[in-house]
Amino acid sequence: MFLKYAGSKVAQDILKVLSGNVVAQGLSFLAIIIISRDLGPESYGDFALIIAIFTFLTQISDFGTSTSYVKFLSENKSEEKVIFSSVLIFKTLTGILFSAVIWYFSFDISEYFFSIDRYEYYFRLAAIALVFHSILGTVIAHFQGLEKFRQYSLVSISHYAVRFVAVVIVIFAFAAGKRFEYFIYIYFFAVVLVSLSSIYILKAGFLFKWKYVEEIYKLGFWIFFSSVAVVVMMRIDVVMLKKLGDAEAVGFYSVASNVAMILPLITMSITATLMPKMEAFLRESTIREFIKKILKKTKYVILVSLLLQAASPLIIYILFGEAYLKSIPVLLILVVSYMFGVIVNPISLIYYQIKKPFLLTAVNWGQLLIGYSLNLLLIPDFGAIGAAISSLGIHIFSSSIIVGYLYFSKVRDFSLEEKPL
């Protein structure tokens, strides 16, 4: 797409992933429209926070291995069956242990985030669901590492399709008072059918080599700490809105965030495609040349952002209704914020190639600290808009550091033809 020497192959792969993500996230977006309109801002705020906490727990249970798995497998494809089986067995066992811990603390989680124990039951369900989400994460990483992007996309589409169909069934089959509960069930357990079917198709055996697990977990160590910071940073606004504001503000912010997801969707498609190809890219160009090629395409990202901003009022009004009009200014700010991620995230993949993922970890924890401080300062006075401004601030900070270090330091002329710095 933007790497001339790889030409159409890269463009085709990005198109496959982007198409899959558009369909999958489109189904997710339709489900969110249905759920948010059905529950209303306040109940939807609680629903969104429960799902945000669950997403965070899912990332913790992954221990950073999904990213390190892709890199390791892309360099050892001849051993794909043993690598997949080994990691799947180990992640399932560790997932069960982690789930037991979440089950034990389910009362405390509900009490801390909601000041009531009413949601303890849901967090116990979350503990069970975590194991299946961990399995699906391994399956998706496997296809990504093998550069089988069609299968990679089909798995995601299947997951979101099952979820969407289940949401529609709930709307027609159950009374309004019971739907909140069934929506939670769907978001936790729609993954079961897809994850078990994927394992059957891949014919995962019981091969196990500890050295592969050890290598992947070693590689994932800094990724884990980095991903924890990223996930907390992405969810801290929702949590602090609930603690410093109210559930209604969480609802407004969550709707705006879901609409703005078109930009992270582009980011995910590009990074998912580039990650297993980075070694080849950096054998043909220096880091500085790679960055320039990406930055030249910034104008297209800005164009998409401007179009999304122009359409924001109509999108909110038509799709979500008058109850969510307060989401419009939040959405306008989040679009600008997420725009930085589209540009910078592909560049951040370089840090894994130069063996310096710990620098990304430091940046991400710096983002978390800044995000927490800005939210603490802005949310009490500005509510959901304050949380959006905080998001913009941390994206500007991280973009400046990530690109600035690579572009202006001595690593800018590095390529894999040379010895890693």
**pLDDT at site 3:** 42
CA distance 40 to 27: 20
For residue 264, with 0-12 CB atoms within 10 Å meaning exposed, 13-18 middle and 19 or more buried, which class applies?
middle
CA distance 186 to 34: 13
pLDDT tens-place string over residues 186-239: 999 988 888 888 887 777 677 888 888 888 887 777 677 776 777 777 777 888
pLDDT band at 134 (very low <50, low <70, confident <90, very high): confident
Of 5 and 8, the one with more pLDDT = 8
In terms of average pLDDT, the best of 164-168, 258-262, 317-321 is: 164-168
Of 366 and 342, the one with more pLDDT = 366
Range in 85-94, 249-258, 287-296, 386-395 the model is least confident about: 287-296
Q: What rounded mean pLDDT belongs to the chain?
A: 81
**pLDDT at site 4:** 46
Does pLDDT of 6 surpass 50? no
pLDDT band at 11 (very low <50, low <70, confident <90, very high): low
Domain range annotation of the chain: 7-413
CA distance 144 to 157: 15
Overall pTM surpassing 0.85 (yes/no): no
In terms of average pLDDT, the best of 115-119, 125-129, 302-306 is: 125-129
